Amino acid sequence: MNALDHTHAASARSWLASAQEAGGDFPIQNLPLAVLRRRASQDMMHGATAIGDQALNLAQLAATGLLQGPAQAACKACAGSALNKFMALGPEAWRALRHGLFALLAEDAPASVQAQLRECLIPLGEAEYGLPAQIGDYTDFYTSIHHAVNVGRLIFPDKPLTDNFQWLPIAYHGRASSLRVGQEGFGFHRPMGQAMPAGAQAPVYSACARLDFELEMGFFIGPGNALGEPIALAQAERHMLGMVLLNDWSARDHQFWEMAPLGPFLGKNFCTTISPWIVTMDALAPYRVPFDRPASDPQPLPYLDDAGHRACGGVDVRLEALLDTPAHRSQRQTPSRLAATSFRHQYWTPAQMLAQHTVGGCNMEPGDLIGTGTVSGPTAQEAGALVELSLGGRQPVTLANTGEQRAFLHDGDTVILRGWCEKPGHARIGFGECRGTVLPARG
């Protein structure tokens, strides 16, 4: 697990005043990574880190020569339009860049350094984001026991959990080509497909009538492993750069019809969105929590268990999903909160997911993305999808700020995912937002 050091000190401050704003996502203790350019420019996409309300262009920074040694080499690896080369370098290089950026952005940095760095800044409000990596493979897990029970009850009321859920992290391979950055202005068309209406004798081909969001997280793979060589649980986090917010948009009517016997296909492959910023595992170090498994539950098999992982294998990321409808916008209302929970409730951890993914010899590559599955908590208000919140559409959710009701998403609806970490004695850090708007079907 990642150790605490001077970059996590709550007292640390940046010379950039906006990094100290209360409730901000990007203080100097965070230093997340993204790929971006100034909006509406012809500039090449490049790596960046966020500080306050600004993004620091890492390609420009590398050209200044302000960094030296491993930090400079790592910065150069971030200068292109994808972070795969940087991801492949591994934890020592990742930490060297973090420490180098921290020193340059700290309040005691020389005035000459501050002046040079100001020339490398782009306001976050003017940024246009690209995917942070060339994503060769995307795998989505199913690791929230609360989500699994809630959805399982809708289909199999007497036996909501499958026999294998408490023994291994379940997953399917998603479609990497339809991954997009969930940023301001992004929208996707309501998908077409087959569904079996209740009581019908034959399926119909139509636009999805039960479109849903899924409040998830994802993590990016750094160094890979050779084919046939599993990644041990104790080493798993050395292969993980950091985490993002993830929305695995779901066509529930299409999904439930097609998934017997093989699982998700068109119900999931039309669009998945991630937040622009990767919050590194180093930045998340203060917010680690024990991995707890109730004594009455099956205990993980040895390859998914060890003492160090039990001590701090979990991550306490606070999560929320909000809905911004056309009515919200016309009435100038703020988005309505649909759900709020924490990633600490997941039944399986990211390290266990990666260990399971590779135990049969599957090789991972730098830039591969792994989704954690919907994050739901133990109470009704912590359900991470509308199919849970509305009990399969039977009890529509009333939106607090407009009084509208939603069983599933309407055209024009914008779903906003947010995530952050906070803990007494440590700075609050955040993930920014993951946004997406539902556009009418093309069919």
Report the alpha-carbon distance of residue 407 to residue 405 in Å, rounded.
Answer: 7
Kindly report whether the peptide bond that precedes residue 290 is cis, defined as omega within 30 degrees of 0: no
Nearest of 399, 407, 386, 409 to residue 331 by alpha carbon:
399
Please, are residues 73 and 93 in contact by the beta-carbon 8 Å criterion?
yes
Active site residue 357: no
- Reading the block at residue 403, the tokens are 């009084």
- Reading the block at residue 71, the tokens are 């930090």
Strands 127-130 and 121-123 come out as unpaired
* Helix runs in 198-318, H state only: 252-258, 307-312
Q: Which residues of 329-342 are buried (b: 16+ CB within 10 A; e: fewer)?
A: eeeeeebbbbbbbb
Marked catalytic residue, from 8, 46, 147, 309: 147
Nearest of 106, 308, 117, 270 to residue 193 by alpha carbon:
270
- Mention every residue, 6+ apart, whose C-beta is less than 8 A from residue 111: none
- Mention every residue, 6+ apart, whose C-beta is less than 8 A from residue 166: 145, 297, 298, 347
Please, are residues 151 and 387 in contact by the beta-carbon 8 Å criterion?
yes
The DSSP letter of residue 233 is: G
- Reading the block at residue 136, the tokens are 């060769």
Strands 426-439 and 405-406 come out as unpaired
Active site residues: 147
